[in-house]
Structure 1
Amino acid sequence: MAAMSSASDTGDHRGRHPPERRLLILGGPRSGKTSSANTILGDEMFDAGTETTHSNVGQTEIYGRRVTVVDTPSWAIPADPEDDEEPDTDDNAGAESDSPARPQPSLDSEGPCMGAILCPPGPHAILLVVSITQPFSDRERKAAEEQLGALGGGTWRYCMVLFTGVDKLPKGVFIEEHIANTGETLQWLVERCGSRYDNNLHCMEL
């Protein structure tokens, strides 16, 4: 697995090569990860109309700085235990014993570790993409913890939350108000990322 990197991990290259930024994008289903990656890259490098099934790498230059962006498959949302409960009716008698057990979500080679490997020696920053149109529940929180845990200790200090779909907020409602009113799980995520969040890719400091 590629290690996380600080901005100075490759030494002082001033005067020889432009500085570089490596970004790893993580998020749940329909969060807007791929569209966000395309916005950063300034081009439709990735297909935002289909589900991302493997990690993709794109590069561009922004103000003389090379920027590498890795888009990853959506993180696996843990199954709700209540979904596994079968109604106790005659029609479903024996269904539990005849049906295979639902597999638990797992992190495979196309998860965050593969994404980190694709931007060696490791990402400078991890963008956790969250759509304001999708609930961020305790299940999403567990998925985020699994993803970041797979990358090793200390990973959270490189993370920031990137909110998408902000144009869907009611008129006059700012993202800070949305965070405060949505619930403890979203507040937990923002705090876990050191209160680093943004909703305007064009204003991000790369």
Structure 2
Amino acid sequence: MTDVWEGLPNHLKLIIVGPQRSGKSSAGNIVLGKDVFDVNENLDSSRTTKCEIGHGVFADRRLTVVDSPGWFYIHTLQDTSEMNKLEIENSLYMCPPGPHAVLLVIELITAFSAKYQRSVQDHMSLFGDDVWKHTIILFTRPDWLGVKTIEERIESDEGLQWLVNKCENRYHVLNNLEPNNREQVKVLLEKIEEMWAENDDPYYERYQIL
């Protein structure tokens, strides 16, 4: 049987994007296996305002993770400040020549309404159309699914179906309540490997869309 890590770059570069309070920073900490990004429980201040970078090692692989500022989940691009838009775009430059994967964090607490969908589409457009080929949806807070599976949740929501289709059915569920569960990180990196192997370009370069 082929080793799941064979063929992967020995230094994986990931950027994490998504709405505010979706669990982005927590997800970054879980992937790295340590507390690198500040996670403040105070809702008035639990917001990343500038790109932050963290490094770690897992399964003999070096990891670089960039946590980017979030946007308000129903804001259009026009509603988001120029400073935030520049910082979100800047996340691509933090791990040259570009990330191997973009992790789009969507928490399962909030219904994926038409406004939410428009907001995600708007803000992802900052990276250009080709970014979807390098994107994996990272669903957080699966405890809110109840007895439903993630597949049942997607099937019952047209917006989530659209999102999953945009990412060519690439998604992963990350349980923020189990930060020490390294198996969920291993499975995520396996999915990144599959996407990496299928893409013509090994990483996403910003200059391609300028």
User: Shared fold by TM > 0.5?
Assistant: yes
Structure 2: how far apart are the matches of 1:104 and 1:51? 17
Would you say the 8 A contact 1:125–1:158 is kept in 2?
yes
Quickly say closer, same or farther: Cα 1:197–1:79, change in 2 above 3 A. closer
Deviations 1:12-48 (A, max 9, x none): xx9xxx7111111011122111110000010011111
Q: Indicate yes or no: 2:57 matched with 1:61.
A: yes
1:32 is aligned to: 23
How many residues end up aligned between the 2 structures?
A: 166
Would you say the 8 A contact 1:22–1:67 is kept in 2?
yes
1:150 is aligned to: 126
**More helix per residue:** 2
Quickly say closer, same or farther: Cα 1:107–1:184, change in 2 above 3 A. farther
2:115 is aligned to: 139
| Unmatched runs of 5 consecutive residues or more in structure 1 | 1-13, 81-102
TM-score, normalised to structure 1's length? Answer: 0.73
Structure 2: how far apart are the matches of 1:178 and 1:192? 17
Structure 1: how far apart are the matches of 2:160 and 2:87? 22
Deviations 1:135-171 (A, max 9, x none): 2222222222222211123110001111111022213
Structure 1: how far apart are the matches of 2:171 and 2:151? 10
Would you say the 8 A contact 1:163–1:197 is kept in 2?
yes
Q: Pick from 149, 153, 170: which aligns with 1:174?
A: 149
TM-score, normalised to structure 2's length? Answer: 0.72
| Unmatched runs of 5 consecutive residues or more in structure 2 | 1-6, 41-45, 175-183, 193-210
Would you say the 8 A contact 2:105–2:140 is kept in 1?
yes
2:200 is aligned to: none
1:22 is aligned to: 13
Would you say the 8 A contact 2:71–2:80 is kept in 1?
no
2:68 is aligned to: 72
Structure with the greater alpha carbon radius of gyration: 1
Structure 1: how far apart are the matches of 2:82 and 2:117? 15
Would you say the 8 A contact 1:76–1:106 is kept in 2?
no
Would you say the 8 A contact 1:78–1:104 is kept in 2?
no
**4+ long deviations beyond 3 Å:** 76-80, 106-111
Identity score, percent: 36
